């Protein structure tokens, strides 16, 4: 896979091209079940100032299905997603740049979702808005009115795991739980009602993938995290998290390292525990 990341300088240059990319602002903050957002709304931040030409999409409303037994951030309805992306100006041959505030969590879910529906030229702004501002690049409050695109959504272009497939991957291949170690071990669970992990999964927390100054670590550093657990061996590799957001962040990190994109268990832990008959492990 080509490099899925773009720098702020590269995006600035792309904006001056005859056919600039479609830019999606995905700034977002988590709303725990029954709780409140852990930050201001992404739309408010967008209206306050965004990268020129960017169209705002709401991760929860536009790119995910409603929460339920399928998980807190299940796959969206394809017909609804197609309409959302067309209205944002995404066409069948579009180049799309996704960005968020800087941690690249929501941008990575958008990146993965666009790959899932068949788009091939999708990248994420490395470091997000924070990197754009650090480069002293301009913002605007003008809301664009893009020409509707002609994208036809064709789900399934990248592999997705359901609960049974995740269990099989843990038993026969490599299933990576990307949450913090204390959540994996069942010592604490700040969001979901049950703590622990899928039996047979291994824990490679996602947080160390980010460099101290922002953006992802180097490809060599990222490969050093995933090659020892068999990410490039001739076996199935899957990733999961709490609700299918951080797992796509790990998938993006692995792609940025030049590794194959793993299968994502989009329902993740929030879907796994929806069935009380599924086993839960709380030790390594």
Domain locations in the chain as residue ranges: 5-134, 163-272
What is the Cα–Cα distance from 248 to 106, expressed in whole angstroms?
9
pLDDT, tens digit only, all 284 positions of the chain: 789 999 999 999 999 999 999 999 999 976 555 544 445 578 999 999 999 999 999 999 999 999 999 999 999 999 999 999 999 999 999 999 999 999 999 999 999 999 999 999 999 999 999 999 999 999 999 999 999 999 999 999 999 999 999 999 999 999 999 999 999 999 999 999 999 999 999 999 999 999 998 999 999 999 999 999 999 888 999 999 999 999 999 999 999 999 999 999 999 999 999 999 999 999 86
Amino acid 143: pLDDT: 97
Amino acid 234: pLDDT: 87
Amino acid 36: pLDDT: 47
SS3 call for 23: strand
- CATH number, domain 5-134: 3.40.250.10
Q: What is the torsional sign of CA 282, 279, 34, 49?
A: positive
Same CATH topology for 5-134 and 163-272: the answer is yes
The CATH topology of domain 163-272 is Oxidized Rhodanese; domain 1 (3.40.250)
* Residue of 241, 252, 259, 264 marked active site: 241
Is 64 assigned a catalytic role?
Answer: no
Q: What are phi and psi of 200, to 5 degrees?
A: 95, -15
Is the distance from CB of 159 to CB of 173 less than 8 angstroms? no
What is the Cα–Cα distance from 247 to 14, expressed in whole angstroms?
29
Amino acid 153: pLDDT: 97
Amino acid 65: pLDDT: 96
What is the Cα–Cα distance from 261 to 252, expressed in whole angstroms?
7
What is the Cα–Cα distance from 253 to 89, expressed in whole angstroms?
27
């Amino acid at each position: 896979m080509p490099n899925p990341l773009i720098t702020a300088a590269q995006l600035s240059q792309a904006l001056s091209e005859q056919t600039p990319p479609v830019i999606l602002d995905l700034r977002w903050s988590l709303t725990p079940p029954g709780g409140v957002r852990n930050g201001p709304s992404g739309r408010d931040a967008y209206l306050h100032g965004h990268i020129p030409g960017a169209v705002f999409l709401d991760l929860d409303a536009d790119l995910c299905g409603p929460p339920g037994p399928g998980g807190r951030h299940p796959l969206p309805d394809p017909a609804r997603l197609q309409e959302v992306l067309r209205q944002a100006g995404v066409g069948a041959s579009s180049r799309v740049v996704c960005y968020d505030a800087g941690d690249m969590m929501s941008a990575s879910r958008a990146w993965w979702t666009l790959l899932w529906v068949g788009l091939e030229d999708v990248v994420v702004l490395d470091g997000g808005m924070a990197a754009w501002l650090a480069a002293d690049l301009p913002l605007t409050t003008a809301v664009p009115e893009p020409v509707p695109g002609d994208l036809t959504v064709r789900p399934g272009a990248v592999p997705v795991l359901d609960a049974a497939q995740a269990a099989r991957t843990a038993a026969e291949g490599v299933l990576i739980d990307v949450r913090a170690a204390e959540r994996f071990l069942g010592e604490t669970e700040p969001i979901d009602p049950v703590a622990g992990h899928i039996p047979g999964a291994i824990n490679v927390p996602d947080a160390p993938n980010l460099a101290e100054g922002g953006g992802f670590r180097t490809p060599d550093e990222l490969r050093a995290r995933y090659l020892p657990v068999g990410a490039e061996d001739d076996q199935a590799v899957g990733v999961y998290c709490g609700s299918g957001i951080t797992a796509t962040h790990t998938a993006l990190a692995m792609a940025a390292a030049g590794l194959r994109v793993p299968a994502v268990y989009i329902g993740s832990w929030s879907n796994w525990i929806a069935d009380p008959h599924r086993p839960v492990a709380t030790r390594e």
